[in-house]
Amino acid sequence: MVLAAILIFFAWLYIFLLAKNRDRFKTASLVPAFLAFCAVFSFDLSVNPPSKLLDAMFFPKPTEFTSATLQTGLDVPSRDARKGDVLIVMVEGLGAISNPIQQNLLWEIFKTEQIRSSFDVTTGTSSYFSSTTAAESRELCMHWGDHRDFRDKPAYDCLPAKYRAEGYETASFHAYWGGFFDRTDWYPKIGFDTLFFRESIGKEADMQDLRTCGLTFEGLCDDDVADKIEAFLEHRSGKPKFAYWLTLNTHIPIEAGAATPRLDCETGGPFKDWTVCSLTEMWMDLLYRIRDIALNPELKGLEILIVGDHHPPVWTRRGRNVFETGQVPWLHLSPVANREQDMPI
């Protein structure tokens, strides 16, 4: 509202001055104005080069397809008789941090003895372009595209459909409304049997009093959605489970004080940027919750992939430069039992 008021004021001022000085403009030379424009434009480019975020958003699609599910082998469902549950977590705004020490603030959450004794932990990065639904197309359908590519046909050969064909029960989870980006329409087409959105979760008797989180995109709190996911995975239906969780609460703009304070973000923390620091604290809370799910003794054998969708659209140059151009990070927790199964006897 403040920005709109400022724009309206300057539009009014421009019209007022234009009308007041109409006769002067008729005889004025445009050369000084053009030279002034060139000088200001050149200075702006030297001080504010095009951001990495805009580079990644507007560059063409990468020539070679890649995704975290492809790199980790989750693009092919297990055909072994001992199929384990699979959870893919798409983290809103999680870009690949250029500084390894800063990136390790997140990944060190999984460097514990309990995790190491139960999982092989691998990390990496993958290319991305465009926004969240393009990331869903990348990770779930092995396709450079977005939600508009999945509206016409009744079904698509995406990961959920492939896992369902191998006997898995498939479900998706998201804290926002299902009608946003038509997810209630195209999620079933790519193979999800069960859809959990803000409206579907809120209707259940034990979920009526759930909190809401977020500003522009106000939905359920990701921590509460995690409880629902854990309950889904714990419930034994006789089938292995394939669950997909698209998180929400780290969508910019974020609420102040929304995360557990760990990094002294009031002073900018290790990133010297309040937004990136606060986002990192929120990502840390999310990863600690995922670690709890991974260590749940009822979910032994659960395989987890955590991957970002795109860079966060932070406004500051310092904040944008924290992230690698066109890259998102991933972390894969593969149960030790999977490794032992593949070892020669």
254-268: per-residue pLDDT in tens?
988 899 999 999 999
% of residues, the chain, pLDDT over 70: 89
pLDDT computed for residue 54 by the predictor: 54
Q: Are 333 and 294 in contact (CB under 8 A)?
A: yes
Give me the residues paired with residue 212 across strands.
220
pLDDT computed for residue 23 by the predictor: 85
pLDDT computed for residue 115 by the predictor: 96
pLDDT computed for residue 317 by the predictor: 85
- Evaluate if residue 345 carries a pLDDT over 50: no
Phi, psi of 299 (to 5 degrees): -115, 35
Non-local CB neighbours of 180 within 8 Å, separated by 6+ positions: none
Q: How many CB atoms lie within 10 A of CB 137?
A: 24
Under the banding of pLDDT at 50, 70 and 90, the label for residue 341 is very low
pLDDT computed for residue 25 by the predictor: 80
Calpha distance 233→297 (Å, rounded): 12
Calpha distance 50→333 (Å, rounded): 36
pLDDT computed for residue 340 by the predictor: 46
Residues 26-78 pLDDT 10s = 788 888 888 999 999 888 877 665 554 455 455 566 668 899 999 999 998 87
Averaged pLDDT score across all residues of the chain: 89
Averaged pLDDT, 122-126: 96
The residue to which tokens 């200075």 are assigned: 43
Task: Identify each DSSP E strand in the chain by its residue range.
Answer: 86-91, 119-127, 169-174, 194-196, 212-213, 219-220, 241-246, 303-308, 327-335
pTM of the model: 0.81
pLDDT computed for residue 50 by the predictor: 57
Using a 10 angstrom Cβ sphere, with 0-12 exposed, 13-18 middle and 19 or more buried, the burial of residue 183 is: buried
Under the banding of pLDDT at 50, 70 and 90, the label for residue 251 is very high
pLDDT computed for residue 58 by the predictor: 55
The residue to which tokens 């500003």 are assigned: 215
Q: Are 53 and 314 in contact (CB under 8 A)?
A: yes
